[in-house]
Structures are given as C-alpha cells and as structure tokens.
Amino acid sequence: MKANNSKRVLYVAIVVTLGGFIFGLDVALISGTVDFLKVEFGLSEFEKGLIASASAWGALVALPLASVISERLGRKSALIMVAALYVVSAVSSTFATSFNTLFAARFLGGLAFSSLSLASMYIGEVSPPKMRGKLVSLNQINIGVGLLAAYCINYIILHGANSGADWAISLGVDQHTWRWMLGVEIIPATIWLILLFTIPKSSRWLLYKSRVEEAKKVLFRLLPSATGEQITEMEVNAKVISIQKSIENEGVKGSAWSQLKELFTPRLRKVLLIGVSIALAQQITGINAIKYYAPSLFEQLGIGRDSAFMSAIWVGLSSFLATLLSLAFIDRLGRKPIAIGGIAMMVICLGVCSYGFKSATYTISNNALVQLEEIPNVSALKPLENKTFYSDVNFKKALKEALGEQEAHKYASLILQKTANINSILILIGVILFVAAYNFSLGPIMWVLLSEIVPTSLRSGVIPFFALITALVSAFAQNLFPWQLEVLGAGNTFLIFMAFGVVGFVLLNRNLVETKNKPIEEIEAELIGMSKKK
C-alpha cells in the first residue's frame, strides 16, 4: 500500500543518511581534541590545521574513486565500502601514537566523506518527487544530530576528565581525554555498516544497467501508488518506461571521465553553472572551519575552556533545529529563496563576528596577574602589566615572547579569560546564527539540487565532481584557519569569510533555478533544453 511504501522509503532514507550522522560526529569530535593534540604531539598551528583537515584531504582522493565504484558496483555497494572505512578510521584514530599515524587515520576517514554525495545520489533516485526534498535533507539533519551529539559528548568527557572522579581515573579519561573523544565514533559507524545491508539497490541504477526485473522488485517495494491502494504492475511498468526514456534521452554512458567531459558540453552548461555555484557557495564562507574549531574559537572569547565546550553545544543545537526548519519548508518555499536568504543571513552574521573581534582589547591588570598565579612563570608577564593591546595577534605574540610558545598555548584560555575585554555574547550569537542560517539553507540545498539536476547517466561522475569542489574549498579553509587566527587575527579572518560570502550570494542569485515538486525526468528535460537553446 501507499502508506507502507512511503514508510519503506523513509526507512531506507534514514539508514542511508546515517552516514551524515557519522560525518557530523567526526567533524565535531575532532574539534574537542585539537588543543590536546597540540600539547601531546607538540604540533605547530599548521600541523594542528593538518590534523583537523586530514579528512577533507582524504575526501579529495575518495570522491573520484566513489564515482567509479558507484557507477560499476552501484550506490549501495559504494555506501557499504565507505561505512567500513569509517570503522577502520575511528579505531585507528583512537589508538594513534604520533602525528603521522593520526593524520593517516584521519585521512582514511576522509575517504568515507563521499557518503554525503552517494547518499544524495541514492535517495534522489528512489524517492517520489513530493518526498525527495525532505528525504535528501535528512542527510543534513543527521549531520546536525551528529554535531550536537559530539559537542555534548566532548563536554561530558572533558567534565569527567577534570572532575577527579574515581571512574574517570580508572578508565584513563583524565590522561587520554582526546582518545575517548575519538573512540566514541566506533560504535555508530559499526551500526551503520550493518544496517546498510538491509536496503535495496537503486531502481534507477538497476535500469541504467538494464536489470529490469530487479528494478521492478525495488519499485514494488518503494513506489507510492497513485490510488493509495496496493501498487499495481501497470504503475510499476509505467514508471519503468518513464525512467528508461529519461535515461535514453540523456544519451551518455561510460567512464567517470567521459561523464565529466559531457558536463562541459553546451547542452549541460546550465547544470554546470548551478552545480559549481552551489558547491563553491556552500563552503566558501568557512562553515566547516568554524565547526571543526568551535571550542577553540570560543576560547578566544575569554570565557574559559569549560564554557567554550558548553557554547559549542549551542552550535550543535542551532544546527539541528535549523535543519528541521529547512526540512519543513524546503518543499514549500522552494530551493532558490531558501538558498539566497540563507547566505544573506550568513554574510550579516560574519560581519557581526568580525566587528566583535576587531573591537576587543586585552589588558593584563595587577588583579589579573594575581588570578594567574597558577602559571609557573607568571612573573614573566610583569613587564606587560597595565599595557592594553588592541589586536589579538599582537597580544598572543607578546605572550609567546614572555612565556614561550608552549606555555603561552597551554595557558592561553586562562589568560584570555582574565584579560580580554570583548563582547562575547555578540560574537557567540553571531556564530550560532551563522551556523543556523547555513543549516537552514546551503547545507541541505546543495545535496537536494544535485540529486535533482544531474542526469542519471552522469551522476556517478558529476555529483562527486561537485562534491570534490566543496571538499577542496573546505580542506583549505580547515587547514588555514588556525594559521589565520594566529597571523591575521579573528576579526580579519571573519572579514575574509564575509567577503567570500558576498561572492557566493552573487553566484547563487545569478545561476540557481527552482526545482521543487518536479519529477527528475521533467527537471532534466528543462535544464538540458535550456542549455541547448543557449
């Protein structure tokens, strides 16, 4: 029956998008460990950035491979492989013994980040038009849930490590805090791997491979009936014919390379413009840099480490709630209005954060020196007494010269807490609303659009190509963020992200088209037709 088939589609979508949960968990768990890793392995700011961005660099390698695998073996098989990679990466990261082994483990986990593009590809192919936007958006919802869960877990583990409780000492949480944070990922990654064996193969992919009878079996299970009763053989046959005609009209089959070459032909110019625009805009504002370093970023506000980890939870909560709102409105308001409004809000929030950091001052008063007595060589700060710094860069430089780099980093959070005069509430609200705006708009919109505009015969090559663009921009943003904070300062870093956001706004406003509630076959015909006319 229609209701049963709808429930089956929902179940399949939930299972597939659990990869988004693992992704969100992976992103946020590492955010709590970077400062611990810097101390344990003696990392530079650049090396700290490499650890955080290692998974993004791994994704750059994985996406072309995922393209080939999903084309030859199918979307389901590719998803199973990336789930297995998540498990191996989580175990290896937890027991890493050096910078090199941890980087390798994180890089391996990045190979699994292709699950995001694979999930949107798969769900776009098995979902009814009226459910497609919501179901593809489940990916982003699960990312939000993963982020929220990880920020909460990091805070709980940190609180336990600092509590002196017997259980924390006996389990080694106080000595191996970052290992416990990364080890959490092992359990959900294993569960996801097992559940993926319960979903069917994509009916559209099966028809693309001329496996008609297998495709019909899948359609009988997932295709909703127009009458609300048991799906009929006539309805299934009609859908098969419709998909086959769509595949024939696409006219391209072959390797991922041949698919990419086709993408750059005049007939697909509009698809290329939309894909590149949304792929660049999604990451150009540094969203993943902020997510990966949320606790470290909030420590810059002078609120202390515990409060910084607690504030990161608000980022996760805003991410989750905003994605739920997007799920409710994406098929009502449409893709373009949400995308344009979302990035406009993101630009405003980045501007607010830049202003907040640029207006901050830092003064080591006599009272502050008294409160900093737990620093072994606090007397080295005496020459800086009552001197006001108007730049976080100059202040941190002075601290390093006075205390040495390792000591300055170790006690940076405490020193900022006692010396910073900064509007922390303004910046905190700016960051939270920025993340919320992203998760309401660009986060889910990209995967929905790509699942709709890319022809079936090109998806295994083209969707990973667009995902590759986002991964490349994200990797550079994550890698450079600690260096930017150190050399340019937080105010200038957010100002740069804001300028990039304006570029993203222009690209989206010029190139996006509306696709809500349209069958994929109709969308493909319109876009390819538009490209031919041009």
pLDDT digits (tens, 9 = 90+) for 421-433: 999 999 999 999 9
Stretch 391-414: mean pLDDT: 85
If DSSP codes are grouped into helix, strand and coil, which group holds residue 454?
coil
pLDDT higher than 60, residue 120 = yes
Distance from C-alpha of 358 to C-alpha of 54, rounded to nearest angstrom: 30
Alpha-carbon span 381 to 83, nearest angstrom: 50
**Cα–Cα distance measured from residue 260 to residue 255, given in angstroms and rounded to the nearest whole number:** 9
Q: Look up residue 207 and give its amino acid.
A: L
Q: Find the mean pLDDT for residues 114-120.
A: 73
Residue in the structure block whose two tokens are 């086959």 = 244
Q: What is the pLDDT of residue 250?
A: 58
Which helix (H) or strand (E) segment holds residue 324: the answer is helix 305-333
- Provide the pLDDT for residue 534: 46
**Range in 83-87, 140-144, 213-217, 524-528 with the lowest mean pLDDT:** 524-528
Instruction: Give helix then strand counts, H and E, for the chain.
Output: 29, 3
pLDDT tens sequence across 154-189: 989 988 888 878 888 888 888 888 899 999 999 999
Across 290-315, average pLDDT: 84
CA–CA distance, 315 with 301 (Å, rounded to integer): 15
pLDDT grade for 1, boundaries at 50, 70 and 90:
very low
* Chain centroid, CA 374 distance in Å: 38
Q: Is 0.85 surpassed by the pTM of this model?
A: no
Supply the pLDDT for residue 103: 92
Please report the pLDDT score of residue 473 as a whole number.
86
Nearest-angstrom CA–CA distance, 60 and 113: 9
Backbone angles phi, psi at 459, to 5 degrees: -65, -40
Q: Could you tell me the CA-to-CA distances from 531 to 153, 220, 269, 273, 452 in Å, in that order?
A: 49, 35, 6, 10, 16
Identity of residue 437: A
Task: Give pLDDT, residue 530.
Answer: 53
Q: Which residue, chain included where needed, has tokens 């202003």?
A: 355
226 or 42, greater pLDDT: 42
Span 228-248, mean pLDDT? 71
3-state class (DSSP) for residue 184 = coil
Higher pLDDT, 459 or 303: 303
Closest C-alpha to 332, from 199, 164, 166, 517: 517
What one-character-per-residue DSSP string does 471-525 give? Answer: HHHHHHHHHHHHHHHHHT-HHHHHHHHHHHHHHHHHHHHHH----TT--HHHHHH
What pLDDT sits at residue 2? 46
| pLDDT value of position 87 | 93
Residue 509 has pLDDT above 80, yes or no: yes
